[in-house]
């Protein structure tokens, strides 16, 4: 849910709720805005509305759908279907579009090397105590139990970042 402005790079000016674009109804649900009249000026990153969140839904050039919490996808997307929504809404939007198009849904969800739990990168808090290298490989629970040295040892060559 963002305001589109084609004069800016990649067309996205700012994250704002589009709830009043459709005659006073919520863009996401079609019903009345949870926040009332002030909902039209609430930014998504404020997370004041339960529908706002860290997830985006993209239709990719190859026709696949992507649910991500990592921002703009590395592959050039064809269309943005949702921007800055919660996970439940992102999954619903992707699922409905997937059924309509008959295409698979991809996610940027990770699987923990230690316990096998599926997790999103946005579930990691911003604390600097956790080894940064391991945040893509260990869930928030397991990373708290690891040290930088133990993460490096367990990841081996994966622990090196080339960039």
* pLDDT of res. 99: 95
CA distances (Å), 33 to each of 24, 29, 45, 103, in order?
8, 9, 17, 31
Q: What is the pLDDT of residues 38-83, one digit of tens each?
A: 777 777 677 788 888 889 999 998 889 999 998 887 778 888 888 8
HEC per residue, 34-94: CCHHHHHHCCHHHCCCCCEEEEEEEEECCCCEEEECCCCCCCCEEEEEEEEECHHHHHHHH
The predicted model gives 85-114 an average pLDDT of 92
* pLDDT of res. 7: 34
CA gap 11, 14 in Å, rounded: 10
* pLDDT of res. 50: 83
Q: Which of 67, 147, 163 is nearest to 138 (CA)?
A: 147
The mean pLDDT value of the chain amounts to: 75
- Categorize the per-residue pLDDT at 6 as very low, low, confident or very high, splitting at 50, 70 and 90: very low
The predicted model gives 97-118 an average pLDDT of 93
How big, in percent rounded to 5, are the helix, strand and coil portions of the chain? 30, 25, 45
The predicted model gives 77-104 an average pLDDT of 89
Residue 85 pLDDT exceeds 80: yes
* pLDDT of res. 17: 60
Q: What is the pLDDT of residues 114-136, one digit of tens each?
A: 899 999 988 887 665 556 767 88
- Categorize the per-residue pLDDT at 148 as very low, low, confident or very high, splitting at 50, 70 and 90: low
What residues does 66 pair with on adjacent strands? 58, 106
Question: Which 3 state secondary structure label does DSSP give 4?
Answer: strand
* pLDDT of res. 103: 92
């Amino acid at each position: 849910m963002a305001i589109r402005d084609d004069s800016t790079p990649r067309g996205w000016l700012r994250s704002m709720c589009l709830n009043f674009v459709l005659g006073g109804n919520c863009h996401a649900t079609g019903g009345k805005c949870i926040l009332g009249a002030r909902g039209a000026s609430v930014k998504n990153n404020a997370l004041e509305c339960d529908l706002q969140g860290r997830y985006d839904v993209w239709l990719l050039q190859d026709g696949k759908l992507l649910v991500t919490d990592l921002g703009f996808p590395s592959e050039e997307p064809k269309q943005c279907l949702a921007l800055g929504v919660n996970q439940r809404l992102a999954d619903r939007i992707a699922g409905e579009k997937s059924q309509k198009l008959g295409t698979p849904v991809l996610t940027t969800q990770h699987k923990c090397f230690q316990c096998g739990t599926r997790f999103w990168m946005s579930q990691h808090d911003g604390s600097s105590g956790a080894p940064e290298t391991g945040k893509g490989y260990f869930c928030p629970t397991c990373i708290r139990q690891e040290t930088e040295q133990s993460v490096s040892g367990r990841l081996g060559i994966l622990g090196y970042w080339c960039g």
